[in-house]
Structure 1
Amino acid sequence: MNDAPHRTAEALAELAAASTMLGADPLRVQAAGGNTSLKLDDTLWIKASGQWLADAAERDIMVPVALSALCEAFGRGDDVENANRFLRGTAALRPSIETAMHALLPDRVVLHVHCVATIAVAVRHDAKARLDVALGDLRWTFIPYVRPGQPLAEAVAARPGFDIYVLGNHGLTVCAATVAAACALLDAVARRLAVRPRIAPPPDRARLAAVAQGTEYQIAPETLHGIATDSASLAAARTGSLYPDHVIFLGPGITESPESGAPLIIVAGAGALIRRDITQAALAMAECLAAVTARIDAQASLVALTHDDEAALLGWEAETYRKRLKR
């Protein structure tokens, strides 16, 4: 009796449970960000682009990719960023933007997340020095920002032999032989990098209401106001775009004028406004900005994405596709 289908189903169920747990924690993953994968024989099962990890237990969000074919194409110097041509079967969903990175890492399980604690360190000029102190006894490396997709896959492939990849201005990737071991490693990194967020001054609701009057905006949820009312958070946010999904779902940098039409408006010293029709994804990214900036101290020197970095993300078909899957 061939029990391979049963083993595959069991393995995918374990990955789905872990993916759901990660996706439900906004300190690990926001909206459709992050991706998880599992290698079974010559198949890479990976989250589909634009899908939410939080849905993994309820929906079939994993797609099968021909592993050796993708790796061989990469070895020939092919651009494998769009992994559609390596799909097995008739899957309707597109493989994650990060499929190549997952495929090139030899470990059976790979988890890639936009961990708030990690991002708050990975956007600093002194990130590597801080990581050395926090993660020194682990097998880790730091990769300065490169665009997700093919460039990131190439950067990771150039640094083999690590269990932990801290990605500048992006997030965290961990690798292990089992789902449980990968989750434990991710938790260990997040725990070591964790700092207590500052408690921000309360918003000036009267001023916010006055700014919002007659516009398409409303006063934001309580958790967002600290971006504007906490001086260190505001300074960090004004540095510029700190990570890719901010650019994709909120636009470059922060906006302080309702005339812009941006999903999130910062009213310095008063609080935040959001569009009445803001998507769940954009709201999740606004929450992420509040969480990240609240963990960056006032003395920190930060690295922001350049205008070229932002343009590359905004003009990228893969991200246009992901954003189209609105939620």
Structure 2
Amino acid sequence: MSAAPGRDDPALAELVAASARIGADPLLVQAAGGNTSIKLGGAMWIKASGQWLADAARQDVMVPVDFVALRAAYGEGGDVENAKRFLIGGGVLRPSIETAMHAMMPHRVVLHVHCVATIATAVRADAEARLAGALAGLDWGFVPYVRPGQPLADGVMARPGHAIYVFGNHGLTVGAETVEGAVALIETVRARLAAAARPLAPADDAALARAAAGSGYEAAPPEIATLGADPASLAVARAGSLYPDHVIFLGPGVPERVETGAPLVLVPGAGALLRRDASASARAMARCIADVARLVPAGAALSVLSADEEAALLGWEAEAYRKTLQRPAS
């Protein structure tokens, strides 16, 4: 790693430690999702694309970016989605897909998470109205769903200056001058949006065994199987794709036939199956959709990604790259 500004700054070490804690909480971050950054001197240190925040304390997952140059290019109407050209000192890793959004926010510290409690609200058809009540008194803004990357940065810049952003069908971003302050904002929003999760519905082990017979599938663990066993959660899964990382790592929607070869397959009324060779990322995303679904009230109207929005994610080279870095199943 180059001797970029801030490399030895204690504030970067503080961000790394907080990133590892955030990344270890599956109700905040799943697999390689989420990203964190801090601006130190002329460098913005940000999580590299495809890396896991949970690994931040044991391996180098942060890369330095010339955020001043990126801001200038953005201001001139340039395409800043490929942020690798703004890397300081070069290197193999790419900056996060969300580098532009982090750079354009004025805050010293920016944290972006896929908070399950936030997503469970952000996928509701009336998300913005619900947020207005839950987040009253906080400095927040709502960005309706747009593709991650530069479109999301554009969405933030259309509503500049907030300390908290909820992204429709996506997640939560906060900005503050300190790591501690940013983490506190995440916890405040999570507490405001907290809801009681439905209990895990018991799986029908015999039915799952029959459905998996002769295939490359196995019964999912209880925290995932509930997605197919609980009628209300099943209805959420059947509604469609709810957020980007689901599409990237599990494919559109959640199929109900093993012939699809999808990482996660539902067996309605019985539970769910996982491919035996499903990656760690796919397993984390399967857990995420089950966790989100348990928080969505039965019968709630949902906003789902369109076929065109799914296609835009599946055909995006930046996401294809991130997917190549996913871990095998442990």
Measured against the shorter chain, the TM-score band is: over 0.9
- The amino acid that maps onto 2:151 is P
Question: Does the residue aligned with 1:175 lie in a helix, a strand or coil?
Answer: strand
Question: Does the residue aligned with 2:92 lie in a helix, a strand or coil?
Answer: coil
How far is the alpha carbon of 1:161 from its aligned partner?
Answer: 1.6
Equivalent residues in 2 for 1:157-172, closer than 5 Å: 157-172=157-172
Q: Which residue of 1 aligns with 2:124?
A: 124
Q: Which residue of 1 aligns with 2:102?
A: 102
Do 1:8 and 1:40's aligned partners in 2 also have CA atoms closer than 8 Å? no
Q: Deviations over 1:8-28 (max 9, x none)?
A: 431111000000000000000
Q: Which residue of 1 aligns with 2:276?
A: 276
Q: Which residue of 2 aligns with 1:34?
A: 34
Residue 288 of structure 2 corresponds to residue 291 of structure 1? no
How far is the alpha carbon of 1:90 from its aligned partner?
Answer: 2.6
Equivalent residues in 2 for 1:177-326, closer than 5 Å: 177-326=177-326
Percent identity of equivalent pairs? 64
With normalisation by structure 1, the TM-score equals: 0.97
Q: Which residue of 1 aligns with 2:134?
A: 134
- The amino acid that maps onto 2:74 is F
Report the Cα distance in structure 2 between the residues aligned to 1:181 and 1:267, rounded to whole angstroms: 44
Question: Does the residue aligned with 2:273 lie in a helix, a strand or coil?
Answer: strand
Question: Does the residue aligned with 1:294 lie in a helix, a strand or coil?
Answer: helix
How far is the alpha carbon of 1:196 from its aligned partner?
Answer: 1.4
Question: Does the residue aligned with 1:225 lie in a helix, a strand or coil?
Answer: helix
Residues paired across the two proteins, number: 324
Report the Cα distance in structure 2 between the residues aligned to 1:6 and 1:234, rounded to whole angstroms: 48
- The amino acid that maps onto 2:91 is A
Pair 1:192–1:239, CA change in 2 (3 A): same
With normalisation by structure 2, the TM-score equals: 0.97
Pair 1:142–1:100, CA change in 2 (3 A): same
Q: Deviations over 1:282-314 (max 9, x none)?
A: 000000000000000013100000000000000
Q: Which residue of 2 aligns with 1:75?
A: 75
- The amino acid that maps onto 1:78 is G
More displaced 10-residue stretch of structure 1: 47-56 or 124-133: 124-133
Report the Cα distance in structure 2 between the residues aligned to 1:315 and 1:201, rounded to whole angstroms: 36
Q: Which runs of 5+ in 2 are unaligned?
A: none
- The amino acid that maps onto 2:157 is A
Residue 45 of structure 2 corresponds to residue 53 of structure 1? no
Report the Cα distance in structure 2 between the residues aligned to 1:229 and 1:46, rounded to whole angstroms: 39
Report the Cα distance in structure 2 between the residues aligned to 1:6 and 1:158, rounded to whole angstroms: 30
How far is the alpha carbon of 1:7 from its aligned partner?
Answer: 7.8
Q: Which runs of 4+ in 1 moved over 6 A?
A: 4-7
Question: Does the residue aligned with 1:200 lie in a helix, a strand or coil?
Answer: coil
Q: Deviations over 1:124-168 (max 9, x none)?
A: 011111111110100001110000001000110111121100000
Q: Which residue of 1 aligns with 2:64?
A: 64
How far is the alpha carbon of 1:219 from its aligned partner?
Answer: 0.7
Report the Cα distance in structure 1 between the residues aligned to 2:321 and 2:86, rounded to whole angstroms: 18
- The amino acid that maps onto 1:277 is D
Do 2:217 and 2:274's aligned partners in 1 also have CA atoms closer than 8 Å? yes
Do 1:111 and 1:173's aligned partners in 2 also have CA atoms closer than 8 Å? yes
Report the Cα distance in structure 2 between the residues aligned to 1:5 and 1:252, rounded to whole angstroms: 41
Report the Cα distance in structure 1 between the residues aligned to 2:6 and 2:257, rounded to whole angstroms: 56
Report the Cα distance in structure 2 between the residues aligned to 1:154 and 1:46, rounded to whole angstroms: 19
Report the Cα distance in structure 1 between the residues aligned to 2:53 and 2:32, rounded to whole angstroms: 7
Q: Which runs of 5+ in 1 are unaligned?
A: none
Report the Cα distance in structure 2 between the residues aligned to 1:300 and 1:262, rounded to whole angstroms: 26
Report the Cα distance in structure 2 between the residues aligned to 1:216 and 1:92, rounded to whole angstroms: 35
Pair 1:5–1:117, CA change in 2 (3 A): same
